[in-house]
A and B are shown apart, each in its own frame.
Chain A
Amino acid sequence: MTQDNRSGRPQGRPPEGDVRVSRVEASLRGPFLLFFVSAVIWLLVASVLGVIAALGLGSSVGVLRECSWFTPGRVAAAQQDLFVYGWGFNAFFALNLWLLSQLGRFEFRNGWLAQLGGVAWNLALTYGVARVFAGEMSGYRLLDFPREVGPVLAVAFLLAGFWPIVAFARRPTGHTFASQWFVVGASFAFPLVYLLAQLLVLWQPASGVVQAVAHSWFVANLLQLWFGASALAAIYYFLPKVLERTLTGYYLAPVAFWTFFLFAGWTGPAALVGSPVPLWLQSTGVVAAAMMIIPAIIIAINVHGTLSTQGGWGRAWNDTTLRFVSFGAVAFTLAGVLGGVFAFRAPSAVARFTSFATGLEQLLVYGCATMVVFGASYFVLPRLTGTLWPSAKLVHAHFWATALGFLLALVAWLVGGWQTGQLLANPAVAYADVLRAESSWFFLLTVSSVLLLVGHVAFALNAFGMILKAPAPASRHD
C-alpha cells in the first residue's frame, strides 16, 4: 500500500506534476464532461426528489402536499425518470465512450455530434419531466413521458450513445475484451428496445393487458441490457486494470456475455406472476429469471474469483475505484441470484405489490450500476482533467454515505417488503394493520434518502471542484 493509499487519496490519477493527457483522452474531454456534468446535476435533482418522496410516504409535508406538482405519483415518476434517463444514461454515455475509446484507441473526431446528442437528450428529458410534473404522463413506469418525447430521445441516443460501436468497429487490433462486448451490446440493444416499447405502449398501444406485457418486457430490458450490461463492462475493465491481474476463469466470459443477453430479454413477465396474462407468459419470465443465475455465477467466478486471490479484497478496499466497483460487483451477484430465486411463484405470491421488487431493481440500478459509475469516475476524471480530486474527506463521505444509505434502503425494501407481503398473504390481518407495519419502514427510507443526498452532494462538490480547477485543454495535449 502506498502513502497515497493510506491518506485515502483516490487512485488512478496521473503522476504528480504530469499533466499530459493522451491524444485519445483529449479528444473525449468535451463530450465526456458534458455527459458527466449533466449526469451529476440530474443525480442531485433526483436525490432531492428522493427525499421529498420519502418524506411524503410517511408524513404530511405541509406545503408540498397542497401543491399539484408534488403528488406522490408525480414525484415518484419524475424521480425515477431523472435517475434513470438523467443520471444513468448520461453517466454511461460518458463511461461507455471512454471505455471503448481506450480499448480501441479511438480518437474521437466528431465530438460535436455526441455533444449535440447530449444537449438534445437533456433538453428532451427536461421537457418530459416538466410534463410529468404538470400531470401529463402516460401511467407506465419509465415510459412516463408524453409520446412525442420518445422519438427525440431515440435520435439523441443515436447521436450520443452510438459512438462506442464506431470505436469498436475502428479498433486497430483484432483482439477484443469482454468490456467491449457488453458496451456494444448495451449501445445497440437500447434504441431497439426503446423504440419497440414506445410503439406498442404509447403510439399504437397493444390490446388490453398486452400493454402490461410489453411494458414488463421494456423495463426488464432497460434495466438489464443498459444498466446491467454497461456496469458489467466497467467491472470487467477496472478490476483487472487496477489489480494488474488477469481475471480468474476469463475464458468463461463469452459464455457469461451470451447467456446474459440471451436470457435477460425474456425476464419481463416474471413481474406479472398472478396477473391476468396467459400463464405461459408468466412461466417463461420465471424460467428466464432463474436462468439469469447462470451468467450471475459465471461473472461471480470471474470477478469474485479474482478478488479472492492474492489479497484482492484488501487491495480493492484500499483503492477508491475498486472499493466502489467491488461493491457494485457484489450487488450484481446478489441481484442475479435473488432475482432468480424470488421470481418463482411461491415467493412471488408473497413479495408482489410490496417494496421487495423495488429492492431487487435498485440492487442492480443503484447497488451495482451507480456504484460502479462512481468508482469509474475516480479513475477516469483525473486522467481527463489532468488534476487531482480536491478532497479525500469528500471521497470518504461519498463512499460511506452512499454505501450506508443504500444498504439501509435495501433492508427496508427487502425485509420490509417481505414482512408486508406475509401480512398481506394472511387474510386474517386487517389491511390497516398491513399498512401500519409497512409504514414503520418509512423512517428508515427517509434516513436513507438523506444519506444518499449527502453522498451525492459530496461527490458533486469534489467532481465540480476538480473540473473547474483543471487546466485549459490546449495546454495538455501531446
Chain B
Amino acid sequence: MKNLNTLLAGVFLAVALPFGALVLSGQSQLGGLGRAAGEEGGALFPAREPGLAIQGRAVYVSLGCVSCHTQQVRPAGQGSDLARGLGARPSVARDYALQPQVLLGERRLGPDLANYGARSSQINVETLLTDPASSGAVWHPSYRFVDAAQRTALVAYLKSLRQDYPSPEAKLKK
C-alpha cells in the first residue's frame, strides 16, 4: 500500500476489468443484433423508424419524459408487467437494436411506453400535453409550450413504439 504504482495499477484494473467484462463483452454479444424474422419466412422486425418518429424522439429526450416513463416490459417473475398488459411479451435486446438512443428509463411515475403504439386505447397525446386534467392524467404535467410541429413528431414517435411482433428471442403466445 506504500507504492503508488501498485496502487494505481490495482485501481486501473478495478476499473478496466468490469468495463471490459460488462460493457465490451456486452457489445461483442449484442452488437451484431439486427432485424430478424420471428418465424421462418416472416416479416423482419423491429421495423425501421419513420423520419418523423426520429424527430419525435428528440422531443421526448428534450422534454425529459424519460425521467418518469420507462420503455421496457419485464419477463414473468420480474414484476407484473405482462399481467398488467404492458406488452404481449417481454422486451428483448433485439427490440432496441435499431434505436440510436435507447431510453429504457429507471422510474415509472407514469405508464410504461414500450408498447404505446400497439395499445388499442391510446390516450390523446395532444390533449395530454395541453390539458392533462381533461385527458384523465391528473398527475401529468402540462406542456402547453410545445408547438404543434413538436407535438406531431412526439405522437409519431410514441406510435412507433411497439413490441407486438414475434422475435427469435421471444415468441408471441398463440
Contacts and interface: CB of A to CB of B under 8 A. Distances in A.
A135 to B, nearest CB: 4
Nearest to B28: A210
Interface string B64-96: 111110101011011110011000001111111
A136 interface: yes
Given A281-B26, A349-B78, A176 B1 contact: yes
Interface in B89-112: 90-109, 111
Given A188-B12, A206-B27, A278-B30, A353 B102 contact: no
Contacts of A349: 74, 77-79
A259 B84 CA distance: 41
Contact of A184 (B7, B26, B80): B7
A73 B67 contact: yes
A136 B15 CA distance: 30
Interface residues of B, number: 69
Given A212-B104, A258-B10, A266 B18 contact: yes
A358 B68 CA distance: 13
Contact of B26 (A196, A205, A210, A266): A210
Interface stretch (B37-45, B48-56, B141-149, B153-161): B141-149
B99 to A, nearest CB: 6
Interface in A258-306: 258, 261-262, 264-266, 268-269, 271-278, 281, 284-285, 288
Interface stretch (A64-72, A111-119, A147-155, A465-473): A64-72
Given A66-B142, A141-B106, A72 B67 contact: yes
A174 interface: yes
Contacts of A425: 79-80
Interface string A131-147: 00001111101000000
Contacts of B139: 435, 439
Contacts of B15: 189, 192-193, 196, 221, 225, 265
Given A181-B7, A209-B102, A212-B104, A137 B62 contact: yes
Contact of B141 (A71, A212, A262): A71
Contacts of A68: 145-146
A278 B93 CA distance: 8
A211 B72 CA distance: 14
Chain B CB count within 10 A is highest, among A60, A213, A278, for A213
Interface of A: 56, 60, 65-68, 71-74, 76-77, 135-139, 141, 165, 168-169, 174-176, 181, 184-185, 188-189, 192-193, 196, 200, 205-214, 217, 221, 225, 254, 257-258, 261-262, 264-266, 268-269, 271-278, 281, 284-285, 288, 345, 348-350, 352-355, 357-358, 424-427, 431, 435, 438-439
Interface of B: 1-2, 4, 7-8, 10-12, 14-19, 21-23, 26-27, 29-31, 33, 61-68, 70, 72, 74-75, 77-80, 83-84, 90-109, 111, 139, 141-146
Given A71-B63, A137-B64, 16 more contacts: A65-B142, A71-B64, A73-B65, A135-B63, A139-B101, A176-B2, A193-B15, A206-B31, A212-B104, A266-B18, A266-B21, A272-B104, A275-B72, A278-B93, A352-B78, A431-B84
